[in-house]
Amino acid sequence: MDPVPDTELLRAPSPARVAALVDEAAKRGWGESAPALRQAALRAYEANSGEARAWYYLYRWATLLGTPERKAVNDWVGAINEAKVGHPNMPERYPMPPGSLSAHLSREAQLFALGTGAFAEEFFTLLQPVDNPVAVLDILNTLRAANAQLFADYSSLALALAVVFDVPPPPGWPHAQVSEKVLPRKWPEPRAAFDYWVKLDRSPAVTQKLRRLPASELKFVVDAAAPFGELDWARQNVTAPATDFAKAYDMVKYRKDRLDGGAFNWALPRYDLPTILQQGGICVDQAYFAISAGKARGLPALLFAGAGLDGRHAWFGYLSAAGWKLDCGRHAEQKYVSGLATDPQTWKYLSDHELLFLTERFRALPLYRLSEVHTFFAREYLADGRAAEAMKAAREAVNRDRRNLAGWEMLVGAQEAAREPARAREGTLREAAQAFARYPDVEAGFLRQLAASLRARGETSAADFEERKLAVKNQGNRSDLSLQQAADTLQRSMGKDDVATQIRVYDQVLRNYGQGAGTDFFDKVVRPFVEHLKDRGEVPAALQMITRARQSLRVQPGSMLDNELRGLEQKLRRGG
- Considering the domain architecture, whether residues 230 and 96 belong to the same structural domain is answered as no
Domain C-terminal end among 112, 131, 153: 153
User: Which one has a higher pLDDT value, 419 or 557?
Assistant: 419
Any domain includes 435: no
Q: Which of 286, 291, 162 is nearest to 225 (CA)?
A: 291
- Considering the domain architecture, whether residues 146 and 256 belong to the same structural domain is answered as no
- Considering the domain architecture, whether residues 145 and 277 belong to the same structural domain is answered as no
What CATH code is carried by the domain that includes residue 338?
3.10.620.30
- Considering the domain architecture, whether residues 221 and 345 belong to the same structural domain is answered as yes
- Considering the domain architecture, whether residues 38 and 134 belong to the same structural domain is answered as yes
Any domain includes 477: no
Lowest mean pLDDT across 249-253, 331-335, 354-358:
331-335
Three-state secondary structure of 100-140 = EHHHHCCHHHHHHHHHCHHHHHHHHHHCCCCCCHHHHHHHH
- Considering the domain architecture, whether residues 38 and 111 belong to the same structural domain is answered as yes
**pLDDT score recorded for residue 309:** 46
- Considering the domain architecture, whether residues 225 and 333 belong to the same structural domain is answered as yes
Could you list the residue range(s) of the whole structural domain that residue 21 is in?
Answer: 6-153
Question: Collapsing DSSP states into helix, strand and coil, what is residue 13?
Answer: coil
pLDDT at 275 > cutoff 90: yes
Q: Would the pTM count as exceeding 0.75? A: yes
**pLDDT score recorded for residue 340:** 84
Cβ neighbour number for residue 467 with a 10 Å cutoff = 23
- Considering the domain architecture, whether residues 108 and 34 belong to the same structural domain is answered as yes
- Considering the domain architecture, whether residues 140 and 58 belong to the same structural domain is answered as yes
- Considering the domain architecture, whether residues 147 and 226 belong to the same structural domain is answered as no
Domain C-terminal end among 293, 328, 350: 350
Mean pLDDT of the chain: 91
**pLDDT score recorded for residue 316:** 95
Number of domains observed in the structure of the chain: 3
- Considering the domain architecture, whether residues 138 and 10 belong to the same structural domain is answered as yes
pLDDT at 61 > cutoff 60: yes
With a pLDDT cut of 90, the percent of the chain lying above it is 74
Any domain includes 544: yes
Query: What pairs with residue 340 in β-bridges?
Result: 305
Any domain includes 422: no
Any domain includes 40: yes
Query: What pairs with residue 317 in β-bridges?
Result: 302
Residues 159-182 pLDDT 10s: 999 999 999 999 999 999 999 999
**pLDDT score recorded for residue 534:** 92
- Considering the domain architecture, whether residues 140 and 230 belong to the same structural domain is answered as no
**pLDDT score recorded for residue 333:** 45
Domain C-terminal end among 350, 369, 404: 350
Residues 528-550 pLDDT 10s: 999 999 999 999 999 999 999 99
CA distance 386 to 396: 16
Any domain includes 487: yes
Any domain includes 380: no
CA distance 475 to 444: 12
Residue 49 has phi, psi (to 5 degrees) of -70, 140
Any domain includes 277: yes
pLDDT at 282 > cutoff 60: yes
Confidence bin at 338 (pLDDT 50/70/90): low
CA distance 20 to 24: 6
CA distance 406 to 525: 31
With the C-alpha atoms ordered 4, 7, 10, 15, is the resulting torsion angle positive or negative?
Answer: negative
Residue type, 147: N
What would the mean pLDDT of 344-367 be, rounded to a whole number? 88
